[in-house]
Structure 1
């Protein structure tokens, strides 16, 4: 069941509803409520009487089916049961997905930590080992209700949305569409060079913001974008700097990774293709969420010609990178 939306997806979700939803699962709230940084969903830290605070994630209405959300939960629990540091949802009476006044939500234990910098080889090895373990589990079976990472879902469909809804300024529409036609040819060529790549269950959005670091090491959060795809999708977003720096970082990550799961080096052909797909999809994601008041407030520059000029420039830079040889490790 999804929420009835009048003004915006979360128009009917306020502090009172959040606390009442949590108490409906059997917890007693102490009144403390802190909104955490999240745009796709609404996420709160909720104080619980005589216990540690919980984190409540209220799913964006109509984005996922119940079956897709439950697959996310099952994957997180499967990883946690194998002592892989992934924050899994809490079960109440055997249920991890709850509903209150039309909003679906899940509760999680609060796990603190800081964003990792991965400046040291030992830290990169550590993250690589855990990603190898995640993918070893992810390769055992396929998702049935989660999406598959593809050129269609990450580029063709988003671009069609942008054009259909006239999001791109009229004076930039022709250069944008011409550039996208060229990029799609190069992206498909990258996938052809990579050849047949195993499609496994992935974290899907494994950037540094979704890894929290403590003295005990890293733990992974937010499997909201988990999906089927090539393993490299969970590795490339951890890289930064110039090609030499990225190659060094990736070498360390893969060294740790291969202690638990074999890395297909042909997938290195996909790094810039996947980066390009993410840039394309990001613009459409902002456009699709523009009716949510949180988005114009957080991204006020999005509906300006300046954004689209810079967006096109970024994509032109990617066109050049797609012609370069893959990283070497």
Structure 2
């Protein structure tokens, strides 16, 4: 967030925490990009702060609550606080349990087991969610619009737009059973806690094949996930970084060092497409 937004976002989080009876004397910034993640002390609660236009926060914390109550491997809303989205001064704030990460990397077998249990829990939840292809189309709109992605060169625009179109078709054509997914269960959204792996960040939950989720995990995780379509995983492993690359070229993107990542993503996409074309 920009400096002026940052100060207001922190103030909104601490004010809301105080209004629900939490004691906050110190705020520790855990992540600052399109959204702000804070650790509030001494109540030791995690606050996620998003612009008010983000209306996913309420659905996100409601879904996490249902999964946590059923024993799913997810970070739970803050104890003793109503699990809902709070609005203040142009921001939406949700309050979560803070978990200490005790291991920097979750072993592939444990990662896969957590995903299997997560997907089983998600199959028991009936909530409205976009299809994964809606997210692909969001990325394509960024690429298609020179207004939204003014710094993207024409040749790169054609490459990225064509890849998103073709890969979306390939995944839809191969996909079998679909269900509710996390949407982005990459290592940054998996905490290795003392109680086991826990997934966080539900803003991108969607519907689609489990292979779409697996494409966000390290490659060897799929080796431990039963019954997956490996060719579909391979298609998703090119589609997902293509989507991420598109978002890095969005003029409003606030991801740290995003432009460098966008350039690197284009290079990796070219390499992946050449590999797919090689017999």
TM range (shorter): 0.7 to 0.9
Contact 1:272 1:321 in 2 (8 A): no
Cα shift at 1:321: 4.2
Counterpart of 1:40 (choices 34, 41, 49) is 34
- For 1:42 and 1:313, the matched residues in 2 are separated by 29
1:250 correspondence with 2:231 = no
Counterpart of 1:104 (choices 92, 95, 107) is 92
> Which residue of structure 2 aligns with residue 28 of structure 1?
23
Counterpart of 1:125 (choices 109, 115, 120) is 109
CA change 1:281–1:32 in 2 (3 A) is same
1:239 correspondence with 2:218 = yes
SS in 2 for 1:237: coil
Name the Cα RMSD after superposition.
3.2
> Which residue of structure 2 aligns with residue 270 of structure 1?
232
CA change 1:168–1:159 in 2 (3 A) is farther
User: Which is worse superposed, 273-282 or 200-209?
Assistant: 273-282
1:189-208 alpha-carbon deviations (Å, 9 max, x no partner): 3432x24x222121211111
CA change 1:238–1:164 in 2 (3 A) is closer
User: Which is worse superposed, 202-211 or 157-166?
Assistant: 157-166
1:113 correspondence with 2:108 = no
1:149 correspondence with 2:136 = no
Structure 1 residues not aligned, in runs of 5+: 1-6, 241-245
1:207 correspondence with 2:178 = no
Cα shift at 1:277: 2.7
User: Which is worse superposed, 105-114 or 79-88?
Assistant: 79-88
CA change 1:318–1:143 in 2 (3 A) is farther
Cα shift at 1:177: 0.8
| Larger Rg, first or second structure (1 or 2) | 1
Structure 2 residues not aligned, in runs of 5+: none
> Which residue of structure 1 aligns with residue 62 of structure 2?
74
Contact 1:42 1:60 in 2 (8 A): no
> Which residue of structure 2 aligns with residue 281 of structure 1?
243
SS in 2 for 1:129: helix
Cα shift at 1:138: 1.0
> Which residue of structure 1 aligns with residue 257 of structure 2?
299
1:113-142 alpha-carbon deviations (Å, 9 max, x no partner): 145434xxxx43333222212111211244
SS in 2 for 1:27: coil
Cα shift at 1:93: 6.4
SS in 2 for 1:36: strand
Deviating beyond 6 angstroms after TM superposition, the runs of 4 or more aligned structure 1 residues are none
- For 1:179 and 1:46, the matched residues in 2 are separated by 40
Contact 1:147 1:228 in 2 (8 A): yes
Cα shift at 1:219: 1.9
TM normalised by structure 2 equals 0.83
> Which residue of structure 2 aligns with residue 174 of structure 1?
155
CA change 1:38–1:86 in 2 (3 A) is farther
- For 2:258 and 2:108, the matched residues in 1 are separated by 35
Contact 2:248 2:258 in 1 (8 A): no
- For 2:90 and 2:122, the matched residues in 1 are separated by 32
- For 1:95 and 1:218, the matched residues in 2 are separated by 22
Question: Number of paired residues?
Answer: 278
> Which residue of structure 2 aligns with residue 3 of structure 1?
none
- For 1:190 and 1:93, the matched residues in 2 are separated by 41
Counterpart of 1:217 (choices 183, 186, 196) is 196
